[in-house]
Structure 1
């Protein structure tokens, strides 16, 4: 009798686990970009394992009134990333596949990972 109850409890727990929604995943790896710091020097920015399906505004270049956009993105994650010229994933966009890189000519302020 105890074996049957144990098996039933394990099956119910497994079914409940499958029914729970999956949390938002993360793009495994790093996304790198270059920007100009407050003194006009080139600086490296990085997002480590950014959330998937969530717009990420790059903190160093979020305000278009006070900063130049970032440039030269390098996608070292396992996900495709779409980069945007504006904050909050607004404006023109371009996609980089996993392992993709772009030149200094590609400007960005935000990114969205698949």
Structure 2
């Protein structure tokens, strides 16, 4: 019986550690950008709590043969680098955490969010 209790407690602790480790890899908040679809309609895309530390090719604009997105707004708790090219290539700009919306002249196809800073 003692072995079962120990095993159960160990598995519960492991699940707690794994669940908090995964959430630490996401920027908290929202990132928005606009794009024009094939019908000429302007659309806005919102990324909720986007993954940090990896390149994200953006929906509807993430390929070099598509029109780029524009007017990004970083309302997450981490800085983000936006790229004109797909796969986080080409010219890049940094947007501050919880910053103001960028002008519509700033184009983008991919982004990379900084890893969140651990609370002290």
Larger Rg: 1
Where structure 1 has 5 or more consecutive residues not aligned to the other structure, the ranges are 1-8
- Runs in 1 of length 4+ with deviation above 4 angstroms? none
User: How is 1:57-68 mapped onto 2 (pairs within 5 angstroms)?
Assistant: 57-65=57-65, 67-68=66-67
User: How is 1:15-34 mapped onto 2 (pairs within 5 angstroms)?
Assistant: 22-23=21-22, 25-34=25-34
Distance in 2 of aligned mates of 1:61 and 1:108: 8
Secondary structure class of the residue paired with 2:60: helix
Cα RMSD, aligned residues only: 2.6
**Deviation, structure 1 residue 44:** 0.5
Where structure 2 has 5 or more consecutive residues not aligned to the other structure, the ranges are 1-5, 115-120
* Residue 4 of structure 1: aligned partner: none
TM-score normalised per structure 2: 0.74
TM-score normalised per structure 1: 0.78
Deviates more, 1:56-65 or 1:87-96: 56-65
**Deviation, structure 1 residue 63:** 2.0
* Residue 55 of structure 1: aligned partner: 55
